[in-house]
Copies of this chain bind each other. A is one copy, B any other.
Amino acid sequence: MKIADLDTPVVLIDLDVMEHNLRRMSDYCASYGLKLRPHTKTHKIPELARAQLQYNASGVTVAKLGEAEVMGHAGIDDILIVYPLVGESKLQRLVRLAERVTCTVALDSFEAAQAISLSAHKAGVTVGVRVEFDTGFARCGLPIKDTSMDTVKRIRDLSALRWDGLLTYPGHIMGTANSREFLIREENEKLERLLNFFSEEGIECPVVSGGNTPTAFQSHKFVGLTEIRPGTYIFNDRNTVCAESMTYDDCAATVLTTVVSRSVAGKAILDAGSKMLSGDLLLSGHQKGYGSIRQYPTAVIEDLSEEHAHVNLQSVDNPPKLGDILRVVPNHICPCINLQDRIYGCRGEEVTTEWEVTGRGKVQ
């Protein structure tokens, strides 16, 4: 099948670019002795998780238990769930999965840890645990204070949990390359203070897991990290480009979309709306809009309806015609993939692969 045979809108993956992205991250981690545990929320596809393992990942990361189940059922055997699991039904599902798969959870309360330990003990399984600390994103994580070490010690003492170490997610380290340098220095002061608390208490951390997407290739600059959990690197997106981490040539995923209306002056309407691209705004840089059109880089996708992209053509000389097929790099590829039942892989103009997005919509 050729790309021209695909109906639109649809997500297309350039396999050469994807493999280049996988190799680059693998080489980077190897050269700095960092373990790589890719966040599969970006693609939600077991076949791609396996590709990441072939490119030297030591295991995978998922966001929700439902994603862990999808990966576990597909034979992935070392899964980190970076989400606080709370509630009895989640615990039952976790221990069932842990009977077959090495499961590790990240959490930030003794209560959550105790409940998991109790369920694991009853089921006769062991679950790995990492304690999350908040380095400034202010979402999940214990505060970096000596008082938090009591919680750590109580969690470490729980019988059915395997102590794995600590985890951070510095989601606040955003912006373009220059502005991030200061934030990385600030982050390192926090990491040093945190690691000092651990060494003062004599608590070893087999794993110190951290890093985020914009800084993925600067992970060696962070104090003490042993592991990173990048997600977007497999495809890249407009966010990674506008954060000056990558170029559009590194973006493996595009949305193929048709011009369905040219009736309003100065505008083109595409058949990919927020139900296709997601409504996520850019996180870095000064560019506007909901995606970048490969054939018309100066055009601005200035608004999204659920099924329409509203493209402003003011700065475009030879505007697209009704029926033209365009390729859009989305702002944020993760929620875009979550909106797809299946996506396609191509080499050149040939569509060579079709994947079901098995982990789509697993919010529980």
Q: Which residues of A contact B (CB under 8 A)?
A: 7-10, 41, 63-64, 83-87, 89-90, 108-109, 111-112, 134, 138-143, 171, 258-265, 267, 269, 271-272, 274-276, 278-280, 305-308, 310, 322-323, 334-335, 338-341, 361, 363-364
Contact = CB atoms under 8 A, between A and B. Distances in A.
Given A308-B139, A322-B109, A335 B86 contact: no
B363 A140 contact: no
Nearest to A67: B307
Contact of A139 (B138, B264, B276): B264
A242 B288 CA distance: 27
B279 A279 contact: yes
B364 A261 contact: no
A89 B260 CA distance: 14
Contacts of A341: 361
A364 B84 contact: no
A218 to B, nearest CB: 22
B363 A276 contact: yes
Contacts of A267: 138-139
Contacts of A361: 275, 339-341
A270 to B, nearest CB: 10
Given A139-B305, A275-B363, 11 more contacts: A7-B87, A9-B364, A41-B306, A83-B260, A83-B271, A86-B260, A108-B261, A109-B322, A111-B322, A138-B264, A141-B264
Considering residues A63, A83, A258, A261, which has the most beta carbons from chain B within 10 angstroms of its beta carbon?
A261
Q: Interface centre among A260, A305, A339, by most B CB within 10 Å?
A: A260
A307 B108 contact: no
Contacts of A108: 261, 263
A272 B138 CA distance: 17
Contact of A258 (B87, B134, B322, B340): B87
A140 B86 contact: no
B276 A278 contact: no
Contacts of A87: 7-8, 258, 323
Going nearest first, the 10 A-B pairs with the smallest beta carbon separation are: A108-B263, A84-B260, A140-B261, A86-B260, A279-B279, A7-B89, A63-B307, A138-B264, A7-B364, A276-B363
A83 to B, nearest CB: 6
Given A140-B263, A263-B142, A308-B139, A86 B323 contact: yes
Contact of A307 (B64, B134, B259, B307): B64
A141 B305 CA distance: 15
Contacts of A263: 108-109, 134, 140-143
Contact of A364 (B8, B262, B279, B363): B8
A87 B7 CA distance: 8
6 contacts: A8-B87, A9-B364, A86-B259, A108-B263, A111-B323, A140-B308
Nearest to A5: B89
A264 B140 CA distance: 6
Nearest to A263: B108
A206 B58 CA distance: 66
A272 to B, nearest CB: 7
Contact of A335 (B261, B275, B280): B275
A119 to B, nearest CB: 14
Nearest to A307: B63
A334 B322 contact: no
A262 B143 CA distance: 11
